[in-house]
Amino acid sequence: MSSTPTALPDPMTLREVYQQQQPYTRMTPLLVSESLSKLIHGDVLVKAESLQKTGAFKFRGAIYRLLLLTPEQKQQGVTAYSSGNFARGLAAAGKILNVKVTLVMPADAPENKIASAKKLGANVVLCQQMEPSREEAAQKLSEDIANQNGSILLHPFDDPEIIKGQSAVGVELMQQLQQQQINCQSLLCPVGGGSLVAGCSLLFDPFHTSTQVFGVEPEGYAGMNQSLLVNHLSRAPGKNLSHCDALLARSPGKANFEVVRQTSVKGLRVSEHFVVEAVQIAFEELKLVLEPSGAIALGALMQYPAQFRGQTVVAIATGGNVDKALFTELVNK
Amino acid sequence: MSSTPTALPDPMTLREVYQQQQPYTRMTPLLVSESLSKLIHGDVLVKAESLQKTGAFKFRGAIYRLLLLTPEQKQQGVTAYSSGNFARGLAAAGKILNVKVTLVMPADAPENKIASAKKLGANVVLCQQMEPSREEAAQKLSEDIANQNGSILLHPFDDPEIIKGQSAVGVELMQQLQQQQINCQSLLCPVGGGSLVAGCSLLFDPFHTSTQVFGVEPEGYAGMNQSLLVNHLSRAPGKNLSHCDALLARSPGKANFEVVRQTSVKGLRVSEHFVVEAVQIAFEELKLVLEPSGAIALGALMQYPAQFRGQTVVAIATGGNVDKALFTELVNK
């Protein structure tokens, strides 16, 4: 991995990307959380990407990535691995743009994510192998399949074009904040592989705005946090049990890490206890169904309220694709 | 009750009402339901008022009603009865505008609605009496309390100013439809006392738009349906068991019925089975927490898909204030 800074896409380019995907995506609302605002003695806004088409922000990157394919590539179809939300997003994007999609998913991915990818017409291959990690095993299998069937191999997060696609959350958020004349001091992004936090940090970097971007990870899977601390790509132990099935990548994507080290992103680790409380508060106060991974940024505010005292904070709620059995268990905990 | 048509407020007046309440309310999103669209071979949009401040549209009428009070009246405070959502809305509005609020609520109102009204600083009196109906008993008690403490008595729905306040849902919806160049053929509004359907029908009346407005009620509590059929204020039996705790009024408000008979509103009755399915689809597909009353308009599409075949339909999802035990039960049914 090179440590020479590479040229990053500028906000103007990212606004164009947003415009390209806009005919297919939804503008998601920015909702006030009164209880979290009270907790930090400030203002907390939740960007509800759980209300995005397919129930997660991942659709944005997926549709943009497929829009970039040439007609020949569209004919070939695409193959990708994903723990769930990118799978569902890519399946939906493929259906809309008439591109054949093959998905490799971990066998322990949530049922609702597997079922909805299939329902959208994707060819789903379940990967039983979990070593060296479920992500790496699935990646290897997707490479093999793409080689065999001659389709285009896509990476769910470690791809500069996917970063651009996910940055649309940041473009849209910036427009909403400007319209409402809100100045936000902190922006909290859940991190799995890190494409969302990378994309958002391109908009909200400290050189051009007064916003500090945070990458929020579950304890035990904080590969981005760790990489930022030691300033090179690093690997989390990945031994804890976590309900954050979308955030279990042990290392950030290389392309994502290249961006965030240049945009001064900071890291936060959230324990499972606060993830569960965040799912509950989303249900009780905001009337949002959030999956644990999607609620983790709210959990960060509950775990570290003093750090955000008096601030205006935006927490991105990235997805709502949770099995009903797990949701029931967490809400009643 | 007079059958002479009274002058109805015009759209211009209602847009001004909307502007007055706008500093306090949220713009709620319009979400596509792909499964319901498929079901009716058309386009179904859900106006998610469950994401309104206090978790229900009722806040709109409440804040507007309190904005109309004179300084002297504000000093006196207000008293109202409500099964829950108006209570919560009024308590929040009172807190914002510094008006003392006394609420009479049925003793069997959902716990979360009682708790949140109390938390917002309202003086809550529980009414144990259920005869001749829980609504009528609570109304009587609220009159007695207002007489005793010299506060202003407000009616939760049967008040021309509350109708104007709730019409804001229609004003906002119309703006959203125009912006997105959507022509909607049917608008489905849940009906308890009928202030929402009355308010919306003032905007979407068949003389000025091509939209048919429907008032949607649970079986057994379809007082508005029945009144429209016989063209005078009529009373539903109210004997069924229903989870739609916000829609158990047996007769529509007089003021509301006066409006809807002039605006050619039609009625629909939804059985409990489809209410439960609607709560499930909101959870699974839309990632919204809806209370049964708030989901009933979606249930109407599931019960009567042929009636809306090929149309563009907007269903208003009025609220999300559901106890977690009931939500868990319904989602897993």
Predicted pLDDT at B134:
81
Q: Which tens digits make up the pLDDT trace of B121-133?
A: 999 999 998 888 8
* Contacts of residue A263, Cβ cutoff 8 Å, sequence gap at least 6: A8, A198, A201, A202, A205, A206, A213
* Contacts of residue B223, Cβ cutoff 8 Å, sequence gap at least 6: B217, B234, B235, B236, B249, B250, B251, B252
Predicted pLDDT at A1:
42
Query: Average pLDDT in the A179-203 region?
Result: 96
Residues in A closer than 8 angstroms to B50, CB to CB, are 287
Measured between CA atoms, the residue of chain A closest to residue B329 is: A328
Residues A268/A300, Cβ–Cβ less than 8 Å: yes
Measured between CA atoms, the residue of chain B closest to residue A116 is: B285
Q: What is the ipTM of this complex?
A: 0.92
Buried b vs exposed e over A187-222: b needs ≥16 C-beta within 10 Å? bbbbbbbbbbbbbbbbbbbeeebebbbbbbbbbbbb
Inter-chain touch A283–B290, beta carbons under 8 Å: no
Residues in A closer than 8 angstroms to B277, CB to CB, are none
B52 touches chain A (CB under 8 A): no
Residues A174, A319 share a domain: yes
Q: Which tens digits make up the pLDDT trace of B147-164?
A: 999 999 999 888 999 999
C-alpha–C-alpha distance, residues B155 and B164, integer Å: 13
Q: Which of B51, B283, B331 is facing A29, going by the closest CB pair?
A: B51
Any idea what the CATH number is for the domain that residue B92 is in? 3.40.50.1100
| B21/chain A closest Cα distance in angstroms | 16
Residues A53, A187 share a domain: yes
Total beta-carbon pairs less than 8 A apart between chain A and chain B: 68
Q: Tell me: pLDDT of A323 over 50.
A: yes
Measured between CA atoms, the residue of chain B closest to residue A322 is: B284
- At residue A4 the predicted structure's pLDDT band, cuts being 50, 70 and 90, is low
- Containing domain of residue B260, as a range? 11-57+161-331
Residue B73 domain flag: yes
Q: Is A86 exposed, middle or buried (0-12, 13-18, 19+ CB in 10 A)?
A: buried
B226 touches chain A (CB under 8 A): no
Residue A4 domain flag: no
A110 touches chain B (CB under 8 A): no
CA distance to A194, A200, A266, B69, B138, per residue, from A186 (Å): 17, 12, 10, 39, 47
* Contacts of residue B16, Cβ cutoff 8 Å, sequence gap at least 6: none
- At residue A319 the predicted structure's pLDDT band, cuts being 50, 70 and 90, is very high
Q: Is beta strand A152-153 parallel, antiparallel or unpaired with respect to A78-81?
A: parallel
Residue type, B280: Q
Residue B3 domain flag: no
Q: Tell me: pLDDT of B255 over 70.
A: yes
B287 touches chain A (CB under 8 A): yes
Predicted pLDDT at A255:
94
Predicted pLDDT at A130:
81
Inter-chain touch B32–A26, beta carbons under 8 Å: yes
Predicted pLDDT at A3:
47
Q: Which of A32, A51, A331 is facing B287, going by the closest CB pair?
A: A51
Residues in A closer than 8 angstroms to B328, CB to CB, are 328, 331-332
Residue A181 domain flag: yes
Question: What is residue A251's three-state secondary structure?
Answer: coil
Predicted pLDDT at B4:
53
Residue B40 domain flag: yes
Residues B105, B197 share a domain: no
Measured between CA atoms, the residue of chain B closest to residue A285 is: B55
B333 touches chain A (CB under 8 A): no
User: Rounded to the nearest 10 degrees, how much is the dihedral formed by the CA atoms of B177, B181, B187, B193?
Assistant: 20
Residues B180, B45 share a domain: yes
Q: Which of B29, B327, B331 is facing A29, going by the closest CB pair?
A: B29
Residues 227-266 of chain A with CB under 8 A from chain B are none
Residue predicted with more confidence, A303 or B1: A303
Q: Tell me: pLDDT of A222 over 80.
A: yes
Of A159, A178, A196, the last residue of a domain is A159
Of A131, A159, A187, the last residue of a domain is A159
| Number of structural domains chain B divides into | 2
Q: Which tens digits make up the pLDDT trace of B13-68?
A: 999 999 999 999 999 999 999 999 999 999 999 999 999 999 999 999 999 999 99
Residues B90, B53 share a domain: no
Residue B276 domain flag: yes
Residues A305, A192 share a domain: yes
Residue A2 domain flag: no
Provide the 8-state DSSP code for B64: H
Provide the 8-state DSSP code for A319: B
Predicted pLDDT at B5:
58
Q: Which of A26, A32, A328 is facing B331, going by the closest CB pair?
A: A328
Inter-chain touch B29–A27, beta carbons under 8 Å: yes
